[in-house]
Structure 1
C-alpha cells in the first residue's frame, strides 16, 4: 500500500477545518490538482483525515469497507438528534434500519403520494400570480416543510396554522445547532447558537412525545408501534424526520433543477422531460450529480485499512466529498457539463455511483420517498409553467455548506403554460 499524499499536519496548528468549511470545493480541487490524485490527507476537526474524491474511493469507503469505517460517536448529529439510524453503528444501526425500512417502502410510500400531490398543488399553483420574480429557494423550502410536517407529524399548515408555525420556527432554531460551535453557554440577554438549538430540541421533543402518545394515525401511529430498541427511539427518529434537514435538501435540489432548465434555450429540455418520465429521471440524476445537496459524509477508521490503494491508519478520519466524487473524470466524461443523456449512454445503470444521500448499507433510508417528492414537484412545474431568471443576469456562484445553493438567492419569473399558449408568445 502507498502512503497517502498530502500532510496531516500537527495538532491544532496544522488544522485546516476553517479553510475547508470556507470553501470545500476549492479546498479539494486545489489539492487534487497539487497531488495529481483524488485521494489525499489533511487535518480536519483536529484529526488526520483522508479526503475521498474518487468514485473508486467512495465505493470502498461506503460499500466494501463500511464495517471498518464507522460513524463518529461525537458528531454534532448525535448531539442534535440522539441515537438514530444516522448516528449509530454496528448491530444497533442494522436493527434500526430493519425496523424503519417499512415506513419508506411499499404501501406506506404509495399512501404518501396523494398528500404530496395536494401540497404541490397548493404551494405551487400561484407562482405566476403576482407577476413578480420568486425567490425559489425560500419557496421550495416552505413546500418541503409542509411535506415533512404533514407526512411525518400529521400537522398540516391549513388545519393547524399556529402549531405548524411554532414547529417550523423551532426546527429552524434546532438546525442552527448543526452549524454552530458546540458551546452550550447561556447568560442573561444572550445564549449561544448551540444552547438555543438545544432549547428548541427540548420543545420539539415535548410536541413529538405528545403526538406519539395521542395520535395513532399515519406515520406517527406506525412509528409508535414499531419494535424499536428503547422508549426514546421513536421520538428521536421523528425529530430527525421533521427537522429542517429534509426541506433544505429538497429546496437545494429543486433550486438547481429550475436553474438548470430555465430560459427559452431550455424549452425543448423541459418539454421532453414533461413528456418522457425516463428522461425526467435522467435530468434529475444529472442535477443531483452536479449539485449534490450535501458536501459529503465523515467516518472514523476503526482499524488499519486502505482506500484506493493508500494506507489509512486506525483512528484517521475519512470524508467523501460528493461534489468531487460526482465529477471524477474516470467515470463521468465531460464531468463539469450538464448532460442528462449520459444516464442512457455510458453511465446507464450507474445511479449507485452517486452519493448525494450516502451510498451502500448506510445510505439515506428515505431516499425513495425523496425521489417521489422531487418527481412530483418537478412534474408539476413542467406541466404548468415556463420559467426564466429574472433579472436575466444573476450571480449563481454556489456555496456548499451547510446545504448547497447559490450564495445569492436566485429569483425566477414563472409564466403559466396555458397563458403562454393563449398569448402566443413567451415572457422569457
Structure 2
C-alpha cells in the first residue's frame, strides 16, 4: 500500500487545528488540489489524521471498516452527554441502538406528524403579515426548538412558557460546551464556557429525570419503559435528543432550502416541488448534498489498516468531510450545481452516498424523524408562500462550523398565496402525498 499524501507534522508545532476550524472547506480544497487526491493526512487536535473527502473513502471508513475506526472516547461529546449511542463503541453501542430503534420506526413516526403540522402552522403562518423581512435561520431554529421540546419532553411553548424558556436557555448554554475549550474553571464573578455548560447540563438532567419519573404518556414514558443497560441511559439519551443539535440541523437545512429556491429562476422548481412529492424529495436531497448541516465526523484507528488505498497506522485519527464528499466529481457530475434532477437520473438510488447524518451502521438514529420535520415545514412553506431575498443583494457566503449557514444572517420576504385554490387542490393533494412519501436518507 502507498504512503498517505501530505504530512502529519510534529507534536504541537505542526498542528493545523486552528487553520481547519477557521475554514474547513478551504482547508480541504487546498489540499485536494495540492495532493491531487481526496484522501490525505495532516495534524488535527494534535493527532496525525486522515482526511476523507471522497465517497469511496467515506463508505470504506463508515461502513466497511466501522469496527476498526472507532469513536474517540475522550472527545467533548462524551463529556457533555455521557455514554450514549453517539459516543460508545462496540457491543455497547449496538445494544443501545437496538433498544432505541423502536422509538423511530415508521409506525412511531406516523403519530408525530399531526403534532409537527400543528407547530409548523403556529410558527410559520404569519411570515407574510409582519411587514418586514425575516431572519430565516432564527425563525427555523425556533421552529426546531418547539418541535424537539414538544415531542421529546411534552413541553409546549404556549402551555408552559416559563419552563420552555428556561430549557431553551439551558440548551443554549449546554451547546456552547461543545464549541468551547474544555476548561472547567469557576471563580467569583466569572465561569468558563465549559463550566457554565456543565452546570446547564446538571439542571437539564434534573428536569429530564423528573419527566422520566412522572410523565405517563408520550416520548418520556416510552423511553423510560425501554430495556436499557443502566438507570442513567434513558436520561442521557433524552439529553442528547433535546440538545441544540436537531434544531440547528433543521434550521440549517431549511435556510438553505429557502435561499436556493428564492431566486426568480427557481419559480418553476417551487411549483414542481409543491405539486410533486417525488420532486420535493429530490430537491431536499440536493439541498442536503450541497449544504450538509454538519461538516463531518471523527474516528480513531484501533489497529493498523488501510483507507483509500493508503496505509493508516494504529492511533491515527480519521475525519470525513461531508461537504467535500458530497461534491466528489467521480460520483456527482457538475458537483457544485443545484440539480435536483440528478436524483432521478444518474444518481438515482444513491442516497446512501450522502453522509450529512453519518453513514453505515453508526448513522444518526433520528434521520427519519428529521425527514418528517423537514418535509412538513417545506410543504407548509411551498403551499402558503412565495418568497425572495430582501434586500435582493446579500452576502450569502457560508460558514461551516458549528453548523452550515451564511455567515451574515440572510433575510427573506414572504408573500402569501393560496395554491389550494389556484392549483385546483393540487397543493393539498401534494401535502397528503409528501406526508406519506419516501424518507430522505
Q: TM-score scaled to structure 1, two decimals?
A: 0.98
Inter-partner Cα distance in structure 2 for 1:130 and 1:208: 36
> Shift of residue 279 of structure 1?
0.3
Inter-partner Cα distance in structure 1 for 2:393 and 2:311: 47
Matching residue of 2:14:
14
Q: Deviations over 1:74-111 (max 9, x none)?
A: 01000010000100000000000000001011321111
Inter-partner Cα distance in structure 2 for 1:258 and 1:216: 38
> Shift of residue 219 of structure 1?
0.7
Inter-partner Cα distance in structure 1 for 2:107 and 2:351: 24
Q: Deviations over 1:110-165 (max 9, x none)?
A: 11000000000000000011120000000000000000000000001011111100
- Spell out the pairing of 1:407-426 with structure 2 (5 A cutoff): 407-418=407-418
Matching residue of 1:274:
274
* Pair 1:156 & 2:156 matched: yes
Matching residue of 2:284:
284
Matched length: 422
- Spell out the pairing of 1:23-422 with structure 2 (5 A cutoff): 23-418=23-418
2:56 and 2:308 in contact (8 A); partners too = yes
Q: Deviations over 1:268-290 (max 9, x none)?
A: 10010010000000000000000
SS at match of 1:41: strand
> Shift of residue 266 of structure 1?
1.1
Cα RMSD for the two superposed structures: 1.1
> Shift of residue 264 of structure 1?
2.3
SS at match of 1:107: helix
- 5+ residue gaps, structure 2: 423-441
Inter-partner Cα distance in structure 2 for 1:185 and 1:128: 46
Q: Deviations over 1:194-246 (max 9, x none)?
A: 00000000000000000001002111100000000110000000000001110
Matching residue of 1:426:
none
Inter-partner Cα distance in structure 1 for 2:413 and 2:265: 15
Inter-partner Cα distance in structure 2 for 1:99 and 1:216: 19
Q: Deviations over 1:278-336 (max 9, x none)?
A: 00000000000000000000000000111110111000000000000000000000000
SS at match of 1:211: helix
**Runs of 4+ in structure 1 displaced over 2 angstroms?**
none
Inter-partner Cα distance in structure 1 for 2:371 and 2:216: 26
Q: Deviations over 1:363-422 (max 9, x none)?
A: 000000111110000000000000000000000000000000000000000000139x99
2:20 and 2:27 in contact (8 A); partners too = yes
Inter-partner Cα distance in structure 2 for 1:248 and 1:13: 34
Inter-partner Cα distance in structure 1 for 2:379 and 2:21: 34
Q: TM-score scaled to structure 2, two decimals?
A: 0.95
SS at match of 2:207: helix
Inter-partner Cα distance in structure 1 for 2:323 and 2:351: 15
2:119 and 2:147 in contact (8 A); partners too = yes
Inter-partner Cα distance in structure 2 for 1:335 and 1:19: 25
2:215 and 2:221 in contact (8 A); partners too = yes
SS at match of 1:40: strand
Inter-partner Cα distance in structure 2 for 1:305 and 1:381: 48
> Shift of residue 263 of structure 1?
3.1
Matching residue of 1:425:
none
SS at match of 1:220: helix
2:383 and 2:418 in contact (8 A); partners too = no
